Structure 1
């Protein structure tokens, strides 16, 4: 029998706090009491089954019904692994983002930037046997929000990773290198220590991009352990 692989705990200070004064929304939605451990039911632990046959993949956000979205086309790829570098295969990865003008295709987005009829801003992909995923999209624009600083959020893409059950979901954000708004963004700056924050910044990778078609970015996600990607908890 093989020796057990040690579990690496999350490093102190590497995950976002539940209550962050500079991020105004956390004041209203963070818990005031310690969490209670409630045993998971069989349904919560094993259902629903997130499989391509039930949840159709949508790996190209840059085109809708044959019509191209406006903006700079990008390719994003990476691996999803555990703390020991082992691949997390067949995981459903959802992504959502603003369009090139910085507006979401959502009824509650009141930003006066234009909507793009050919961009929904939503996609879904599954990791392969090596834990790799990839999708095509449009580089999102910055948008205004009511928090300290310049009052604009940096360019980012939201990621939602699903496990084997409905209660197994982790959410994070991917940022772009060189964005000056990162220095002022309450969410990014509150996402753990400096090393942790840098794990949220994708790397521009010429090997991922396609000449005369799209820039490529690499964004690896580690689910737990000392080098875990910072995840949203509030």
Structure 2
């Protein structure tokens, strides 16, 4: 029996059709518990060209370090006013901005503790599969002990750390395409 080859497809640029109702640039509501933070940045390719059709999907724990997910069996309260999820499209200049709360630390493997972080999926044209990365917060004491961050070579960790600007907004960029400045992405 002869089988025809399956065509190769990428995740973009059409992944966003029908998903606009899921776009949320503010993951909070007035009753959400925790410190609100704004995160902004830009998605560019390895040559610095704007990627103007990307979308970021953000997952995170609440301020107490509890995920709103049935597999999080910690004895901590779920914040009924915080889902811990949002999708943010970039604009024509590849820029994005969203508001959320700073998450609490969460348990890691073998009794370790993971520093407060956001899990980010990047969808963009030309990608056969979305990319998985994280955002950590500059100055967070637990960064030094985070087991996943410790696996990243010291010279590359800065691609995962959002830095607060003078206006209090955390800045974090996504750089694609294999340069030495490329954002660190994880396999799963």
TM-score, normalisation: structure 2? 0.88
Q: Equivalent of 2:119, from 158, 161, 175?
A: 158
Pair 1:54 & 2:19 matched:
yes
CA-based RMSD: 2.1
Aligned residues, how many? 182
Please identify runs of 4+ aligned residues in structure 1 that moved more than 4 A. none
Per-residue CA distance 1:138-177 (angstroms, 9 max, x = gap): 01000222336xx211000011011237833101001011
Q: Equivalent of 1:226, from 160, 180, 184?
A: 180
SS in structure 2 at match of 1:124: strand
SS in structure 2 at match of 1:100: coil
Pair 1:89 & 2:47 matched:
no
Pair 1:200 & 2:160 matched:
yes
Pair 1:100 & 2:66 matched:
no
SS in structure 2 at match of 1:187: helix
Structure 2: gaps (5+ residues): none
Structure 1: gaps (5+ residues): 1-38, 210-215
- Whether the 8 Å CA contact 2:12–2:124 is kept in 1: the answer is no
CA distance change for structure 1 residues 68 and 77 in 2, over 3 Å: closer, same or farther?
same
Pair 1:167 & 2:128 matched:
yes
SS in structure 2 at match of 1:199: helix
By percentage of residues, which structure has more strand? Answer: 2
- Higher alpha-carbon Rg: 1
CA distance change for structure 1 residues 166 and 106 in 2, over 3 Å: closer, same or farther?
farther
CA distance in 1, matches of 2:6, 2:126: 10
TM-score, normalisation: structure 1? 0.72
